[in-house]
Amino acid sequence: MSDGTVELIHEPKLYIDGRWAPGGGADLDVENPVTEEVTGRITQASTDDVEAAVAAAKKAFPAWAATPVAERAAFLRRFSEVLKGRADTFADIVNREQGSPPRVARALHVDTPIAVVDATIDALEQFPFTAELGNSIIRREPVGVVAAITPWNLPLHQVVVKVVPAIAAGATVVLKPAGLTPLAAFELARAFDAARLPAGVFNLVPGSGRVVGDLLTRHPDVDQVSFTGSTPVGRTIAATAAQTLKRVTLELGGKSPSVVLSGASDDQLATAVKVTVANCFLNGGQTCTALSRLIVPADRLAQVEELAAAAAAKYVPGARLGPLISAEQRKEVQSFLEPGAGGAQAVTVTSQVELPERGYYVSPTVVSRVDPNSRLAQEEVFGPVLSILAAGSDDDAVALANNSIYGLGGAVWGPDDAALDVAARLQTGQVDVNGGAFNPGAPFGGYKQSGTGREIGEYGIADVCEIKAVQR
């Protein structure tokens, strides 16, 4: 299907204070990274629009914060139903603006955030908004206006994990979606409106990070900034936000390890390699928790290389493997495939793959014998490139796993007790032991330079609450 035969998605209006109105900023074209053609066009927010959105969120806050929990839960249940009813529409939009193949678009990009919404409703109904401590009542109160700034890799999910827990808590939101993938956010605004969210609780202001994102980060009436994206921009946001001492939640990059222990059976080893390749290549390698370093016992390296090469061969570009988001990202990822990026001993164990003529594809690549201190082992690639590192012992494997400025995701494979023990020693916000599944209610966030704060479910609600102690 070429975009020549598909109608443009046109979004000429912004959603501010419960109304759709033309934006004062320039129009922006949205490219489909599969066809390299324009697939949508949006209006962007002017600084006046941003001011109006913050004012609307501030005005809506007291009443929304005072809404009984049961009412907010009822709203979120209606919203969940709307999302489920429009799941195919969302998947189609994500497929067009982000390039994920239709099945990935539906399962990863749409069904996962829907599961997060439902888990957040459960968490809201149980949430300890008040507790007793001696002569104190401990109250958790929503922080006020939350500015959400989101990246392009998961255009719906990255928005939902910020916005839905904030709205559940009783906070109000101004969203700036990524300029490369703003279309899903417009459909999300329509879903909030259809679920009868009161005016001003959710506001949409697309625009560039340097203008709209920066203004939100500086704004005195924004009480918290919740950002997902690159570590350099995260540092800038933290520094800017410090001027008003507003609260900051950061979900940044990762270089997540998948550790195979010396006691792993051959079956566990085979599963570990298969799951790690799949996880690393998911979404074209563009996930923040990508298991991009496979750490294995040195004496099983040859076996692992063979298994990894076979697994990688199944990721056919244009079929199972989607493209990168842009020409710029492709160039960045290709820089990691140059000789020397993985150190002097590094060897590429995948064979050359043909790429479609159009689209920002990169060959799925597995590099073995990677030097632990090389650029390839240390930096986030954000593309379908897996590094294999050899460990002399399980202690060595833990040291290699923790040899990173990042600490977002991780995996351990081996006998259950030993694997749980190693999971406790990894400096990372999430660890999956022997293939443990994604939990849509579990806290999500990073150690070290992968960020601060936690999203999703109970912890996501707590993240946008102040804590007050009332003595009597």
Residues carrying an active site annotation: 251
Q: Across-strand partners of 259?
A: 295, 412
Contact status, residue 297 vs residue 389, Cβ threshold 8 Å = no
* CA–CA separation, 468 and 472 (whole Å): 13
Residue with tokens 């959400």: 148
In this chain, which of 10, 196, 210, 331 binds ligand NAP, going by CB under 6 A?
Answer: 210
- Partner residues linked to 368 by β-bridges: 347
- Interface pick for ligand NAP out of 380, 394, 432, 463 (rule CB under 6 A): 380
* Site residues (CB under 6 A) for ligand NAP, limited to 144-173: 149-153
- What secondary structure does DSSP assign to 178-233, as a single string? -TTS-HHHHHHHHHHHHTTPPTTSEEE----IIIIIHHHHH-TT--EEEEES-HHH
Residues in 218-237 that interact with ligand NAP by CB under 6 A: 228-230, 233, 236-237
As a dihedral over the C-alpha atoms of residue 169, residue 80, residue 151, residue 359, rounded to 10 degrees, the angle is 180
How far is Cα 215 from Cα 149, in angstroms, rounded to an integer? 11
- In the complex with ligand NAP, which residue's Cβ is closer, 174 or 307? 174
Task: Tell me if 217 contacts ligand NAP by CB under 6 A.
Answer: yes
C-alpha of 96 from chain center: 18
382 belongs to the binding site for ligand NAP (CB under 6 A): yes
* Of 18, 24, 179, 441, the one binding ligand NAP by CB under 6 A: 179
CB of 399 to ligand NAP, least distance (A): 24
Binding piece for ligand NAP, criterion CB under 6 A, among 42-50, 187-195, 247-255, 291-299:
247-255
Structure tokens at 265: 């059976």
Tell which one of 111, 251, 394, 463 touches ligand NAP (CB under 6 A).
251
Give the footprint of ligand NAP on residues 286-345 (CB under 6 A): 288
Of the pair 230, 334, the CB lying nearest ligand NAP is at: 230
User: From the CB of 342, what's the least distance to ligand NAP, in Å?
Assistant: 18
Give DSSP secondary structure letters for 39-54.
EEEEE---HHHHHHHH
Residue 321 DSSP label: B
* Binding of ligand NAP by 40 (CB under 6 A): no
Task: Select 72 or 162, whichever has its Cβ closest to ligand NAP.
Answer: 162
- Check: CB of residue 342 under 8 Å from CB of residue 377: yes
Residues between 96 and 125 with contacts to ligand NAP, criterion CB under 6 A: none
Decide if residue 430 touches ligand NAP (CB under 6 A): no
List contacts with ligand NAP (CB under 6 A): 149-153, 176, 178-179, 208-210, 213-214, 217, 228-230, 233, 236-237, 251-253, 288, 380, 382
